[in-house]
A and B are shown apart, each in its own frame.
Chain A
Amino acid sequence: MNLTAQFFKFDNLSIFVGIFIGIFFLLITIYSFGFMWQRKKLIYYYSYLILTFISSLGAVFSNNLILFMVFWGFLGFLLYLLIEFAQTENASYTAKKAFIIIGGTDALMLLGLALVWRLTGSLQMDEISISLNTKVAVLAYMCLAAGAFAKAGAMPFHTWVPDTAEDAPTPVTAFLPASLDKLLGIYFLARITLDMFKMNPAINTVLMIVGSVTIVAAVMMALIQHDLKRLLGYHAVSQVGYMVLGIGTGNPIGIAGGLFHMLNHAIYKSCLFLSGGAVEKEAGTTDLEKLGGFGKIMPITFITFLIASLSISGIPPFNGFASKWMIYQGIIKTADNGNNLWIIWLIAAMFGSALTLASFMKLIHAVFLGQPANEQPRSNEVLTKAESMINKRRETSPTMWIPQVFLAVLCIIFGVFAYRIPLKMFIFPSLVEKIEFFGIWNASLATILIIVGVVVGIIVYLLGTIRKTRETEAFIGGEILEKQSNMRVSGTEFYNTIKDITPLGTIYGLAERKVFDIYHLGSIITFGFNKVLRYIHNGVLPTYLAWCFLGMIILFYILLR
């Protein structure tokens, strides 16, 4: 009993995260039965999944920092093995990159752990309480937060997430970067921010800067992507910004919003990835150029994807709106401290939300609406062939769509009954302080109003008063579309024009050259040093002997001085 208390701790926050880890593990396992079948060595795949599940639970329930680090570090290793499972050249590059970033920040966390031990003499998470008034304390916080950021995928440690999303097997992406790593990363960030360290306004501001930059920069990158999974990957980064922003506000409503958003994000993002994976399984590709028209073929997947898209874009009454709304309130509340920067955070958050919607419009058009890429109306023979191709495609197997539907339903329930179910059951008990809403939002009432509105609209439509329509050119927001012979709009060209705006164009150019990728920068610096050192290691024996004597002379000088 005593030993358990020393190493493990079950409080409301960890139990709530633990429950959802379990739910995601079950869903992904069910989904994998459909997605991964016919692949080789599945026994390894499933054992890695189970190990991931166990280590995640271990990390969440650990009370001892070293024990926590063991589980946490092992998770990085498991992620590496799981990405490697795709067995392509790109995947092995991505796995390497992801693990270097995650493992590297884990090493920083070790430093943070050592510093915490020096400051408090304890490694029990519930005994530690450090005020951030010394440089060492700030350094310790930063080191630990870096680990949390890398795991969750916040800037500047985010670059592994889009790569992983693109290259890893889809259930893996849905399991780790999209849901579990977010839960764990934000859980740990909340743990250190709320329990282990006493925050001060400066650190809160740093968190909010990280959050805002992450939201805007990642969503801008998402806008111009051409690959379904990579685009979703950038959104997985962008949404982390909201959680960090929420926790960074430092007031109960903001923190609750951040945690709630963590939960919601895990739900809708894994739903998106799973639905995307279903499309990938049918189409054999995730290139937006080659997709299109899947709404008719896979109605269930389309609907789940649509619901999840609306959630992530923060459309009421879905769950994404509920948590974003709480985060906005938290941001506005920071104005109470006489901090005038709140308006910037608020604009960043709302702007990010709008751009998210925009990029999902592109995605839904390109994948589910639009024309199928195979349709070539010029030749009858080809047409029939293409049609038979399309006819062959059908909805995915139940093991795949059941998890999707389950998650989509959760999106709706957590949105409509936001206060009654998730907040009351999971989020509020996790936090010590009492939470007061000051914005008025009654989700159930709003839902009823929305439904009433839709019904009225249908009635009006059926009454026939607006049947007299006129035909006109499609409004495409001022975009100029290239004329294609088959008049197909694949959707990949959407928003390409933003690259023409002067400062943005340059930034996109730099981003494409990976200037903002911490991994890329690190490798340039490392190989620079390597070049210099290799140059002086020229293999000439007298040089090497000269170093020895030089070393001795320096030692003599130091000791005899």
Chain B
Amino acid sequence: MTATSNILPLFVGISLAGAFLTSIVGKKLKWLPDLMGSLTTLILLGLSLITVRIVATQGILVYSVGGWKLPIGIALVLDGLTVFMLVTVNLMAFFIAIYSINYMEKFTSKWKFYTLFLLMVAGMNGVVITGDMFNLFVFLEIASVASYALVAFGTERHELEAAFKYTVMSIVGSLFVLLGIVFLYSYTSTLNMADMANILAQKSASNITIMVSVLFIMGFGLKAALVPFHAWLPDAHPSAPAPISAMLSGVLIKSLGVYTLCRVFYNVIGINSSLSLILMVLGTLSMVIGVFLAIGQWDFKRLLAYHSISQIGYVILGIGLGTPLGMIGGLFHLFNHSVFKSLLFLNSGAVEYATGTRDLQKMGGLMTKMPITGTTSLVASMSIAGIPPFNGFWSKLIIIIACVQANRLGYAFWAVLASILTLASFMKVMKYAFFGKLREKWNKVEEVPVFMKLSMVILALICVVGGVLLIYNINEVFLKPASDVLLEGTKYADIVFKGIQ
């Protein structure tokens, strides 16, 4: 444990502190919530960018909470994958917080919003940074509970209904995760992930691990919205306020679902061919079913929500392949999807902010009145559809090449098909919302306020230049360490223990 590892608890601490401070004084000081939201996430973003460098130079960092000796105490572990997720989560959180400054004006009690928002960020940061199984569950619940409340934030009838469905299904998922952790604890007598991985590796394969695997696939798969555990998502994500939709689709399902799946299956339980096959099949199912459902939607945000299912399918397919190229592709797509899907939800929010509708059939020609929203959402649409040179193209390209390289031609074919349909459905969005003739009733529509524009423009720029992450030097410090962690598999334990000394 070195001095630099003291940075680890800050990720949870700062966001929790921000949340509590906002809830205590935010009611009195009207300007405080906005400031707290942006400032906290900015600090977190800065910290996570610093950790990229730290991990590149010093390797893995371990921090034991309260000075308790490992494996008895709670460990926080910072490795390549964690850094990658921290950057993704906090980058999105920061831009979404900026966007919320203007967007949340139309809601009352902004301080409640920011409190919940920062709690959710704390939960997500905690999930990715923790090295303890039960701690992971606790953070998972913090993030989930905050998100239930945020989905219902508008307190209209359909929002409450969606939040209720989401809560019930998500709690079912959480319970199965808890059950899985209980089984693992009783089987290995430890909760530290590294320790658990060691003990599991020594014991021979048994039905307990299989049982736990199924519970985890179901529980974490539900958080990641994999088909057939996806049904809560298309209700929950559109009902939330736009910044929260962006947060949920952009990072929540990834840190709570995809990250946990990867961590548990690659580093703790250990992947095998049948698990890998299950991941790939679930990924492909999500990819195809999600996009078929999306293309017929007329509600802007609901369409985007279905695409989240589809795009998560790509990520899981890439990671499930288990080859180095597949991992890179999957993780890269995870990052790219965070950027463009958040941006698309912010765009839909901007359109709703300006026109008051989410129905694509009622829009039309908004490009002339809202050029920045229109252009940024064009960029994001091209990214998600995989049009070069935007970022989505590169990650899809890698995933397709990885599928073919692993001799999985069928999966590659489905990935291509889903890509075509994604393009088609975003062409529909662009045509009905932004191009064509301007309707008369939108003659007085104005472009959204400055902070919303700022955040959309920067995210669009990231979409345009996202491909540079593949350039050798940047790839070496950002994507590759993350995929290396997964490729190391259960050797993860040894590395963590080495980090303690």
Contacts and interface: CB of A to CB of B under 8 A. Distances in A.
Interface of A: 66, 69-74, 76-77, 84, 87-89, 92-93, 95-96, 99-100, 103-104, 106-108, 110-111, 113-115, 117-118, 136, 522-523, 526-527, 529-531, 533-534, 537, 539, 541, 543-545, 547-548, 550-552, 555-556, 558-560
Interface string B308-343: 000000000000000000000000000000000000
Which applies to chain B's interface (DSSP): helix, strand, loop or mixed?
Answer: helix
A551 B382 contact: no
A7 B412 CA distance: 26
Interface in B396-412: 396-397, 400-401, 403-405, 407, 409, 412
A149 to B, nearest CB: 15
Interface stretch (B38-46, B71-79, B229-237, B472-480): B229-237
A559 B404 contact: no
A543 B168 CA distance: 13
Contact of A92 (B221, B413, B435): B435
A7 to B, nearest CB: 14
30 contacts: A66-B397, A70-B393, A77-B382, A87-B437, A95-B431, A96-B427, A99-B427, A107-B420, A110-B386, A111-B412, A113-B401, A114-B400, A114-B401, A114-B404, A526-B295, A527-B296, A530-B292, A530-B295, A530-B296, A541-B165, A543-B231, A544-B165, A544-B232, A545-B169, A545-B172, A548-B172, A550-B228, A551-B221, A551-B228, A552-B176
B140 interface: no
A50 B168 CA distance: 55
Given A70-B389, A88-B437, 13 more contacts: A69-B388, A77-B382, A89-B436, A100-B424, A103-B385, A523-B424, A526-B424, A537-B293, A545-B168, A547-B228, A547-B229, A551-B229, A560-B207
B57 interface: no
Contacts of B112: none
A543 B405 CA distance: 39
A559 B210 CA distance: 7
Contact of A110 (B292, B396, B409): B396
B213 interface: yes
B218 interface: yes
Contacts of B431: 92-93, 95-96
Given A107-B416, A110-B416, A111-B416, A92 B172 contact: no
B199 interface: no
Given A77-B382, A544-B169, A560-B207, A111 B388 contact: no
Contacts of B389: 70, 73-74
B420 A103 contact: yes
B214 interface: yes
B289 interface: yes
B292 A533 contact: yes
Nearest to A519: B424
A92 B434 CA distance: 10
A527 B228 CA distance: 20
Contacts of A84: 435
Contact of A114 (B229, B232, B293, B405): B405
Interface in B417-447: 419-421, 423-424, 427-428, 430-431, 435-437
A560 B210 contact: yes
Contacts of A529: 292
B278 interface: yes
Contacts of A558: 274, 278
A282 B296 CA distance: 42
B207 to A, nearest CB: 7
Contact of A537 (B234, B387, B416): B234
Nearest to B274: A559
Nearest to A106: B387
Contact of B296 (A99, A531, A556): A531
Given A111-B412, A114-B400, A559-B214, A548 B427 contact: no
Given A73-B393, A89-B437, A103-B387, A556 B420 contact: no
B486 interface: no
Nearest to A529: B292
Nearest to A72: B388
Nearest to A108: B416
Contacts of B423: 99-100, 103-104, 107
